Chain A
Amino acid sequence: MPLLDVRDLSVVFQRKGTAPVKAVDGVSFTVEPGQTVGLVGESGCGKSVTSLAIMGLLPRRGNKVTGEVMFEETDLLTLRPQELRDRRGRDIGMIFQDPLSSLNPVIPLGVQVAEVLERHQGRTRQAALKQARELLDAVGIPDPARRLKEFPHQLSGGMRQRALIAIALACKPRLLIADEPTTALDVTIQAQILTLLKELVDDSGTALVMITHDLGVVAGLCDTVNVLYAGKVVERAGRHQLFREPRHPYTDGLLQSVPRLDVDRGGRLHQIRGSVSDNIPWPEGCAFAPRCDRVIDDCIGDTVPLEPTRAGALRCTNPVPREVPV
């Protein structure tokens, strides 16, 4: 049985007097215990909104969330706020994009780590601080005893993200959602943080949902990858499968947009033409059609269904052909 089973999740943002915006449109995916699943796509494709909807962190007003988010036996969307609060941080941890703004600037780091332990494990401040020191040590922060007393602005970016990871994993959650955890960091630090995340997740058996636009992160970390476009999953496949044989033209375009050292350095980098705003609504065909190189007449008309494939699933009428082994 999957640990997390997201079924037909939709988020519609609606404000009075404006047309509703469907940010997430019938997204389904599963996460097995201990597995690492990637949600990939460009800005505005609905990755972050999906993660916030799973956590129940969307604003109370102005949006409508439908579908099911089954975590083990319970549908998180039907839980009362109090029950959901008890689970957040204990069963599901979350790491955000910007480590500086995610930490409270006026509270010493130690207290922020201790807070979650006091909240969910009923520790005293004293015991929680002691455990906080061990946690900081475990995420590779040198001299944790001193760092406990320091404020977020006194730490480096990498150290702040390490601290956030320590906080997120403090109560040993079964699921960790990481929303672009390396975007705000230096390239050199990015690799360290990803390695650390992988180690911790592997050691503790925590499942990880990795939300990213960085295919390098996906390649290094994820078991299964869901590619999102305009609020819908357009392709799902295992990591190796996806990188070796992308079937959806969007996935293919993303992969080709990654700079490579081994080919044609003089040439221009491949780019997907247009931007996310050049969509057509999903009910009238494939949203990606206006930007697609492989568009055919059948792409316009009806919603393109997500069909299961041997490797996962695909939403495309004219997919990139599979390379035939010679």
Chain B
Amino acid sequence: MSGPGGIATLADHKRKRIDELIARTSDAGGVSLIRDAGRRLLRNPTAIVGAVLILLFLIIAIFAPLVAPHDPVQRFPELTKDLTVDNIPGATAGHPLGSDPLGRDFASRMIYGARQTLFVGVLATLIGLLLGVLLGAIAGAVGGWVDVLVMRLTDVMLALPSLLLAITLVALASRSTQWTVIIAVAVVNVPIFARLLRGSMLAQRESDHVLAARALGVRQRHIVLRHMLPNSLTAVIVQATLTFAVAILDAAALSFLGLGDPDINRAEWGLMLGVDGVRYFEVRPELAYFPALAIILVALGFTLLGESIREALDPKNRR
């Protein structure tokens, strides 16, 4: 029969087991919202595919001089030799994707294009995000006639199709540069960010924790910046990842219409697709296929990642 000692060891054993269980549950609990979302992202194949795509293009963009076989603006005699309007040389030794219509190395131009295209997309999105968040935060936090004013402004902008608005903006600038494209694409996205943020700010303003903060005498500025804004940003962050894709496509569309960057030496996928790709489609369709494919892949990467981030940040998906 087990004596008191036996019972004591049993109790010890049980206590140890309970401590283990407690330690394990509190470990699982000690994860922040962001870190938990990150963990779920890593387990989501969609997110991985998106991230890998973006990373791949980023690496290509950053290390373009190392990756590209040639200078993207140099014209090569071996390519220009037989170059006519009806004959653009395909793949040859040293030029894996052949020539572009001016006898430049097409592969190198594709690689440098990643740089330019990502630069435009990222910058246009960031500028749009910043302006939109600023407008939306002011509208949501101040309310009253300021809110009405900002919202009517966004209404007007949203009433026009986004591409039409971008074209108008580019046309308004006296001289088209790379920056007019970026600004035009950014401005087109401002009303979307502004409305999104204003909506969540309004919801936050009525929330219990903001009431509780007010009951503690917290200053208005502090409430807006520390309590309302951080809680409103999730939707906007996700929208930003989706906007990357749209911005790249918008910039490409502007280039396609001849309203893009006037520097013909600069390699940009939208420009390559829109000008050379269309003009010489019957001679060498690859000039259109490759830039189109690249744009689609980057856009897909951002869309996949954005969608997964939205899913990961949704509190309902928390364990």
Decide yes or no whether A107 CB sits under 8 A from chain B. Answer: yes
Asked if residues A105 and B209 are in contact (CB atoms below 8 Å), the reply is yes
Asked if residues A150 and B30 are in contact (CB atoms below 8 Å), the reply is yes
Closest chain B CB from A120 CB (angstroms):
7
Asked if residues A85 and B217 are in contact (CB atoms below 8 Å), the reply is yes
Known: A98-B208, A150-B30, A154-B30. A104 touches B216 (CB 8 A): no
Closest chain B CB from A163 CB (angstroms):
11
Known: A104-B231, A106-B231, A107-B230. A96 touches B208 (CB 8 A): yes
Chain B contact residue count (CB 8 A cutoff): 24
Asked if residues A88 and B215 are in contact (CB atoms below 8 Å), the reply is yes
Q: Considering only CB atoms, which chain A residue lies closest to B234 in the complex?
A: A106
Asked if residues B30 and A103 are in contact (CB atoms below 8 Å), the reply is no
Decide yes or no whether A102 CB sits under 8 A from chain B. Answer: yes
Which of B211, B219, B318 has most A Cβ within 10 Å? Answer: B211
Decide yes or no whether B164 CB sits under 8 A from chain A. Answer: no
Asked if residues B33 and A105 are in contact (CB atoms below 8 Å), the reply is yes
- A97→B56 CA distance, assembly (Å): 51
Closest chain B CB from A97 CB (angstroms):
8
Which of B29, B31, B212 has most A Cβ within 10 Å? Answer: B212
Contact of A101 among B31, B209, B216 (CB under 8 A): B209
Closest chain A CB from B312 CB (angstroms):
15
- A202→B99 CA distance, assembly (Å): 87
Asked if residues A105 and B216 are in contact (CB atoms below 8 Å), the reply is no
Asked if residues B207 and A88 are in contact (CB atoms below 8 Å), the reply is no
Contacting A at CB under 8 A, from B287-305, are none
- A87→B216 CA distance, assembly (Å): 8
Q: Considering only CB atoms, which chain B residue lies closest to A87 in the complex?
A: B217
Contact of B216 among A84, A89, A151, A153 (CB under 8 A): A89
Contacting A at CB under 8 A, from B257-313, are none
- A57→B212 CA distance, assembly (Å): 10
**B231 contacts across to A, CB distance below 8 A:** 104-106
Asked if residues B217 and A96 are in contact (CB atoms below 8 Å), the reply is no
**A149 contacts across to B, CB distance below 8 A:** 30
Asked if residues A88 and B208 are in contact (CB atoms below 8 Å), the reply is no
Decide yes or no whether A239 CB sits under 8 A from chain B. Answer: no
Closest chain B CB from A181 CB (angstroms):
12
Decide yes or no whether B2 CB sits under 8 A from chain A. Answer: no
- A98→B231 CA distance, assembly (Å): 18
Decide yes or no whether A248 CB sits under 8 A from chain B. Answer: no
- A168→B209 CA distance, assembly (Å): 13
Contact of A119 among B29, B32, B219, B230 (CB under 8 A): B219
- A257→B215 CA distance, assembly (Å): 34
Closest chain B CB from A218 CB (angstroms):
23
Q: Considering only CB atoms, which chain A residue lies closest to B220 in the complex?
A: A85
Asked if residues A88 and B33 are in contact (CB atoms below 8 Å), the reply is no
Q: Considering only CB atoms, which chain A residue lies closest to B230 in the complex?
A: A106
Contacting B at CB under 8 A, from A89-147, are 89-90, 93-94, 96, 98, 101-108, 115-116, 119-120, 146
Known: A104-B227, A105-B231. A151 touches B209 (CB 8 A): no
The contact string, 1 if C-beta is below 8 Å from chain A, for chain B 101-130, is: 000000000000000000000000000000
Closest chain A CB from B317 CB (angstroms):
13
**B222 contacts across to A, CB distance below 8 A:** 115, 119
**A55 contacts across to B, CB distance below 8 A:** 215
- A13→B41 CA distance, assembly (Å): 47
Decide yes or no whether B218 CB sits under 8 A from chain A. Answer: yes
**A88 contacts across to B, CB distance below 8 A:** 214-217
- A150→B207 CA distance, assembly (Å): 21
Contact of B33 among A94, A151, A167 (CB under 8 A): A151
- A103→B208 CA distance, assembly (Å): 8
**A93 contacts across to B, CB distance below 8 A:** 215-216
Asked if residues A119 and B209 are in contact (CB atoms below 8 Å), the reply is no
Decide yes or no whether A73 CB sits under 8 A from chain B. Answer: no
Decide yes or no whether A86 CB sits under 8 A from chain B. Answer: yes
Closest chain A CB from B29 CB (angstroms):
5
**B32 contacts across to A, CB distance below 8 A:** 108, 151
Asked if residues B209 and A120 are in contact (CB atoms below 8 Å), the reply is no
Decide yes or no whether B11 CB sits under 8 A from chain A. Answer: no
Closest chain B CB from A201 CB (angstroms):
17
Decide yes or no whether B175 CB sits under 8 A from chain A. Answer: no
- A96→B207 CA distance, assembly (Å): 12
**B33 contacts across to A, CB distance below 8 A:** 105-106, 151, 153
Q: Considering only CB atoms, which chain B residue lies closest to A155 in the complex?
A: B29
- A86→B32 CA distance, assembly (Å): 32
- State the 10 A-B residue pairs at the shortest beta-carbon distance, nearest first: A89-B216, A88-B217, A89-B217, A101-B208, A94-B215, A102-B212, A85-B217, A154-B29, A104-B209, A116-B216
14 A-B pairs with CB atoms under 8 Å apart are A57-B215, A85-B219, A89-B215, A89-B218, A93-B215, A94-B212, A96-B208, A103-B209, A104-B231, A105-B33, A116-B217, A116-B218, A154-B30, A168-B216
Q: Which residues of B contact A (CB under 8 A)?
A: 29-33, 207-209, 211-219, 222, 226-227, 230-231, 315, 318
Instruction: Give me 8 other A-B pairs in contact (C-beta within 8 A), A102-B209, A119-B219 excluded.
Output: A85-B218, A88-B214, A101-B207, A106-B230, A106-B231, A153-B33, A154-B29, A167-B216
